[in-house]
Amino acid sequence: MSDGFLTSPQQRDLFQILEHDRSGAQIVVELKGSVDIAALKESLSTVVERHEIFQTDYTVIPGMKYPLQVLAGANLEWSEHELSESSLTEIAKVQNEEFQKSGNSSTVYISLVKEAENKHHIILCCHALAMDYQAVMTMLKEWSYCYDAIHGSGCPELEEPLQYIDYAAWLDELQMSDDAFEGNKFWSNYCKDFSPRFSFALEEPTTERAYTQHSQVVNLPSVYTEQLNAYCSQHDLRAQDVLCSMWLLIVSRMSGQSNQAVSFRVEGRDDEQLQSVMGIVQKDIPICVDITEFKSFLPLVKQLSRQLTSIQSWQDFYKWPECWREEASESLDIGFAFYNSASTLTCSNSELSWTPKHIQLLLLYTS
């Protein structure tokens, strides 16, 4: 197919667990203030048209395991609702069903739901292969910026973004580069003494996955967040390293193994040029720490922090399952991801605030 482009490794990993070829990623944003609907539509069109990932269809060619990215053009489906007619949950459910039934996975669905004169909700649904958490935040920043400019009769000025198709091509080229051999060698050595498979301590060990893929989101109450921040400030640590170390201890006790590998989600946007990429850039890389080497918690956290700093420079070369000495499926059994709570965005011209309330992405977790 002449106009087809290869998907990225992240998209191919996620595609394997999609329940539907057009599975959707969905976000809900609360708007407070007077809403200029015309400016809202125009600003969304501006964002969609500058990012090809929102104009991409995913076509599976007979004989191919993974789909190709095909540019199909921008297509927005806009609807407006009153909250009194039905709940946000019901509207979101119907929207997601419509997205899955549609014949074009490049369509972006938008529902504007009015709760009160100065309070609205936006529900957005697009293809799951088009979004990760950071992409959602970038899209909302651009959308609110463009809205503010258009509402004020101005013209949004944004630098040209790196397109996802170019990012995916760069990743494939990287795997063919001279650095790829050293990268694969690094990960094989790093993972060699650890197990990617999880089983409870009282179960018979097995190399086969015995669990279905599942994600569990835990929101820390403010009292725990304050204590965590205080501990991190005292010892010059990052919150994600402390929480991941706690998770490693829990997993090790459940499995009875000190060499249990756990996947750790990295943003993947260390390069400044990648900050503007819309699409799945985040990656899951293994953390391999033998907890029997540590007699107290603080040294474990510091060792994990040093490891994360060291191994992230090799993140683009991690491949599953080439790094493991056993037959395996597409990911580690146990994963960990850390996200800061999404903050409110405020428009200066319009005095409209944007607060992400719900972000539903397909994440590679298992349990």
Neighbouring CB atoms inside 10 A of 170's CB total 14
DSSP character string of 238-260:
-HHHHHHHHHHHHHHHHHT-SSB
Q: What is the mean pLDDT of each run of 10 residues along the chain (367 residues)?
A: 79 76 84 93 93 91 88 91 87 90 84 94 92 91 92 86 95 90 92 82 57 70 91 95 93 86 90 91 92 93 94 88 60 82 76 80 40
Sorted by sequence, the CB contacts under 8 Å of residue 113 that are 6+ apart come out as: 80, 81, 82, 83, 88, 91, 120, 121, 122, 123
pLDDT at 367: 29
pLDDT at 366: 31
pLDDT at 123: 94
Q: Is the dihedral of CA 297, 299, 302, 303 positive or negative?
A: negative
pLDDT at 193: 87
265/282 Cα distance (integer angstroms): 7
57/73 Cα distance (integer angstroms): 9
pLDDT at 65: 84
Sorted by sequence, the CB contacts under 8 Å of residue 131 that are 6+ apart come out as: 25, 139, 278, 279, 280, 361
Answer whether 4-165+341-360 and 180-336 agree in fold.
Answer: yes
Q: What digits encode the pLDDT tens for the residues 189-230?
A: 999 888 887 777 665 655 555 455 667 777 888 899 999 999
Neighbouring CB atoms inside 10 A of 192's CB total 11
pLDDT at 341: 73
Neighbouring CB atoms inside 10 A of 343's CB total 10
Burial label for 163, CB within 10 Å (0-12, 13-18, 19+), is buried
CATH 3.30.559.30 describes domain 180-336: yes
245/78 Cα distance (integer angstroms): 44
pLDDT at 147: 93
All structural domains of the chain with their residue ranges: 4-165+341-360, 180-336
Class of domain 4-165+341-360: alpha beta
